[in-house]
Structure 1
Amino acid sequence: MEQELAALAADLVRMDSRSSLSNLEVAERIEAELDGFEIERLDYVDAGGVAKRALVAHRGGPGGLALSGHMDTVPATGWTDDPWSGAIRDGVLHGLGSVDMKGAVAACVMAARRAPRATLLITTDEETTKQGARIIAGQSVLAKRAGLAGIIVAEPTSLIPVRGHRAHIAFTATAEGVQAHSSTGKGLNANWALIPFLVEASAMFERLRSDPSLQDDAYDPVFSDFNLVVDNHGTAVNVTVAKATARIKFRYSHRVDPAPVLLAMREAARANGLTLEEAHEGHPPELPLDHPLVRRACAVTGVAARTAPYGTDASELQAIAPCVVLGPGSIETAHTPFERVSVAELLRAVDVFGALLNGDART
């Protein structure tokens, strides 16, 4: 089984499925491993016109647990080695998506194949819009028929149960200018309109780190993420900027009211003549410590549950059933140019997932 698991995980890593690309090859490779499962293919076209597919697979009666993972990856920023090598060196799988989360998807598949009753919810676009999970939650007939009691989202947690995490609101503020040769005085640089908005965004960044009413001490860090990316869309330094964009990802937990942040960003954009777009994830998922799924995950792993500052598909999949995030590998290497996960931990994940699917409190 170790060789089969490693081979599947390596094959998935070798397939380039960055969120901007189609994931159909990956979906077909996963489906090929699911002989005897009922398969539901949820095909869609993303906002960029790219063909995508989410998969739901099930066998056995209703009422069990589902294992969930995503097929897409972040961009290959910073990699000097081949991001899609799928190399296994000294028992460690390397490559883009190895830990986040194609290794875990392979472990989910192997665990499901060994269980008499199992459901798989395999998504895409997790790293961007959560569209795959949202489509499964809203459209899957098979997932509904499975009557799920809970979902294990197999993101990298070092096999520590995560009972709650933050969700995000993505702001996109756009300023418009007039492009011209910068020496002529004929242009209008959009950055000058954007800068006052950024001053107010900076004030909100500081407020999130200092205002206890916007913090949650059940999380580490207690303050919300408010990450800024500024884009002049490739403009050269001798050209006035025709379009300047500020993108901000704001993450908040179950106990934090996002209304003050929404109001501040809307007012800042309006006051400075900017266009503001908002993209909202589902509500931040969080289960109490005594929830049956949390207790079950803790019993199987022997580890106390915690919360996490990042987000996962659980923000959308919780519409189907309660979610716990639990998977192999460390979040510390995810989204880095040295992403990796040990095959031994993937094997351990197969056992943990199997115990959860079978209702066994032993590992």
Structure 2
Amino acid sequence: MTNPTVPITELTRDLVALDSRSSVSNLAVADRLEAELRGFEIERLDYQDAAGIAKRVIVAHRGASGGIAFSGHMDTVPDTGWQDDPWSARVDVDGTLHGLGSTDMKGPVAAALVAARGLPATLPVTLLLTTDEETTKQGARIIVQQSELARSVRPNGILVVEPTRMRPVRGHRSHIAFDCVSLGVQAHSSTGQGRNANWALIPFLAEMKTVHQTLLTDRSWHDGAYDPPFSDFNLVIDNHGTAVNVTVPVATARIKFRYSAKIDPAPIRAAVHDAAARHGVTVTEATEGSPPELAPDHRFVAQCAEASAQPATTAPFGTDASILQAIAPCVVMGPGDIAVAHKPGEVVHIDQLAAAVPVFQALAARLSG
């Protein structure tokens, strides 16, 4: 097999050098990836996100139907906290590549593409290249809803190549995002003319703290297959820049509830909405999709464990698998370490990307049988 180090390095550098934060267009990244897919049937699915930004997802296929599909996303998180150039794509002499999205997940996407391109023509292979994974999962939704190519080739399994240090993840949590809004009347706080939206929000939040404590301490809400076993119920409070001498006109509590397939989210959803109704708080919610989870003895899980020589596990974070499972069974497994993602100084090691290529190709051979 040809050494994949050089093409992976070049492609990863090119991808990292292109700004594709979820808040901007990913078209340049999509074009760069498509340039590497000569000989593949290409389906481009264009859309505009909620802010009117042009986005594109790509479905690419070669060979007969079935086989493996590799999936990865083109967008990145914001560059918050970076002190050096987030898009430098600098490579050290030891093969460490620096830059925003290098691990999550432009490096793994490059490894999957190089692996797919190097497969024998007799092996079917599909690429599902999404965007907006870091925000709404809209790219994956577009593929599920609109892709004729994905529907026609019917892959046997989807490998989402998020960075797991090449350990197969057979299941992960998904989330419900609650936006809980209290309204007041803005005025100079000294006049007594205003109404502070926080005062209505506080008793609502007291009930949410009880929900949080229940999830933490009540073992009936725990799932021992996950670490940590309790569901995440994270709160962020936003007064939208109101100064301290102004009565707050709008107070927003954003709560992200992550849960695994074993956990029924209906009682938590009801608790949020019921408390909001009692305290005059308006709630809207967005769902990520159902938590994907395959049994430990599922054939695809076993094939991934064999190819990687690592036992399957679960993860607390979410991926496009929550959406793409509507097409085929999903396992999450890719090079790189999620621990360096979503923070300044993100790096990926080229040797880890290159080492993933033969594993991906061995798995493609298993799924074509």
TM-score by length of 2: 0.96
Matched, 1:99 2:106: no
Partner of 1:49: 52
Letter in 1 for 2:100: L
Task: Tell me the secondary structure at the aligned position of residue 286 of structure 2.
Answer: strand
Letter in 1 for 2:29: V
Determine the C-alpha separation between the residues in 2 that align with 1:167 and 1:130: 11
Partner of 2:280: 273
1:26 alignment partner, one of 18, 25, 29: 29
Matched, 1:229 2:201: no
Matched, 1:111 2:115: yes
**Alpha-carbon contact 1:300-1:360 (below 8 Å) kept:** no
Task: Tell me the secondary structure at the aligned position of residue 54 of structure 1.
Answer: strand
Determine the C-alpha separation between the residues in 1 that align with 2:187 and 2:42: 55
Partner of 1:341: 348
Q: Which moved more, 1:348-357 or 1:29-38?
A: 348-357
Determine the C-alpha separation between the residues in 2 that align with 1:83 and 1:237: 34
Determine the C-alpha separation between the residues in 2 that align with 1:77 and 1:20: 13
Letter in 2 for 1:307: T
Task: Tell me the secondary structure at the aligned position of residue 103 of structure 2.
Answer: helix
Determine the C-alpha separation between the residues in 1 that align with 2:242 and 2:359: 51
Deviation at 1:13, TM superposition (A): 1.0
Partner of 1:242: 249
Matched, 1:168 2:171: no
1:66 alignment partner, one of 66, 69, 72: 69
Deviation at 1:359, TM superposition (A): 2.1
Partner of 2:358: 351
Count of aligned pairs between the two proteins: 361
Letter in 1 for 2:112: C
Determine the C-alpha separation between the residues in 1 that align with 2:345 and 2:268: 34
Task: Tell me the secondary structure at the aligned position of residue 186 of structure 2.
Answer: coil
Determine the C-alpha separation between the residues in 1 that align with 2:78 and 2:210: 30
Partner of 2:195: 188
Partner of 1:212: 219
Task: Tell me the secondary structure at the aligned position of residue 182 of structure 2.
Answer: strand
**Alpha-carbon contact 1:300-1:355 (below 8 Å) kept:** yes
Letter in 2 for 1:7: E
Deviation at 1:238, TM superposition (A): 1.9
**Alpha-carbon contact 1:174-1:246 (below 8 Å) kept:** yes
Partner of 1:2: 5
Share of identical aligned residues, percent?
A: 62
Task: Tell me the secondary structure at the aligned position of residue 366 of structure 2.
Answer: coil
Deviation at 1:183, TM superposition (A): 2.1
Q: Which runs of 5+ in 2 are unaligned?
A: none
Task: List structure 1 segments (4+ residues) > 4 angstroms apart after TM superposition.
Answer: none
Determine the C-alpha separation between the residues in 2 that align with 1:328 and 1:54: 22
Deviation at 1:343, TM superposition (A): 0.2
Task: Tell me the secondary structure at the aligned position of residue 358 of structure 1.
Answer: helix
Task: Tell me the secondary structure at the aligned position of residue 340 of structure 2.
Answer: coil
Matched, 1:295 2:298: no
Deviation at 1:72, TM superposition (A): 0.8
Compute the RMSD of aligned alpha carbons: 1.2
**Alpha-carbon contact 2:67-2:367 (below 8 Å) kept:** no
Deviation at 1:273, TM superposition (A): 0.5
Deviation at 1:360, TM superposition (A): 8.3
Letter in 2 for 1:51: A
Task: Tell me the secondary structure at the aligned position of residue 263 of structure 1.
Answer: helix
Letter in 1 for 2:5: E
